[in-house]
Amino acid sequence: MCGRYVINAPEDLSERFQIRQLTLNLPSSWNVAPTTEQPVIVENRDGEREARIMTWGLTRRWVRSGARKGPAPINARSEGIGDKPMFRDLIRTRRCLVPANGFYEWKNLGDRKQPYYITVTDEPLFAFAGIYDAWKGENDDVVASYTIVTTQANDRMASIHERMPVIIRQEDEEEWLDRSVIDAAQIERLLVPYPGEAMTVTPVSRLVNNVRNDGPELIEASTEES
């Protein structure tokens, strides 16, 4: 799964993701949590990439105003995603890249959970596979939200957690965003575990457990691991 991640250089999105105009003024975050607003990369109707701010946790558009709302999914399992009513249209028509410098995962040690910070070794800024939705709500306010697609853990991650976010290879990002790509088999081909040998896993402090903590010290190597 993916429940927290890091985006500490939003100003780098323009060059890394080939965005012509980046108008977002965003703070860095070393502890991105669900329900917060974060940048995602989409392809617009003109075929150009743009960065948009959306809420992490996919909001169900069919829930009426005032009705009891269920949890907004922060992750969507890749297995069978094209058959699930909530995701099947979005995976074909509303795919996005979720920029990140790394993400956290927790290993159950019995009496406690040890957090790890996971990065792509040779890519300081990469992207998760995401899907999103957006529509006008009350007072014509735009409701825009996203979820991160997950897959089975690779060999490096399996000892920590059985799931991991889908990381889109840089050479596949154009295909992932391409609005003309609607074939299920072509899309699912991209939803695979990133190679374990290309990732770095570092034990970090349990300070990251508290969403109120947010600073570069959260990604520093820790001696708490046992």
Catalytic annotation, residues: 2, 105
CA distance readout (Å), 90 to 8, 40, 74, 147: 28, 15, 14, 10
Strands 29-32 and 37-43: unpaired
What single-letter DSSP state applies at residue 80?
A: T
The pair of three-digit structure tokens given for residue 149, joined into one six-digit string: 């697609």
The pair of three-digit structure tokens given for residue 44, joined into one six-digit string: 């617009």
The pair of three-digit structure tokens given for residue 193, joined into one six-digit string: 């575990």
For 20-60, the DSSP string reads S--------EEEE-TTSEEEEEEE-TTS-EEEEEEEESPPP
CA 68, 71, 75 angle in degrees (round to 5)?
Answer: 155
Distance CA 105, CA 35 (A): 18
The pair of three-digit structure tokens given for residue 18, joined into one six-digit string: 């080939």
Residues in CB range of 111: below 8 A, 6 or more apart: none
Among candidates 195, 35, 28, which has minimal Cα distance to 125? 28
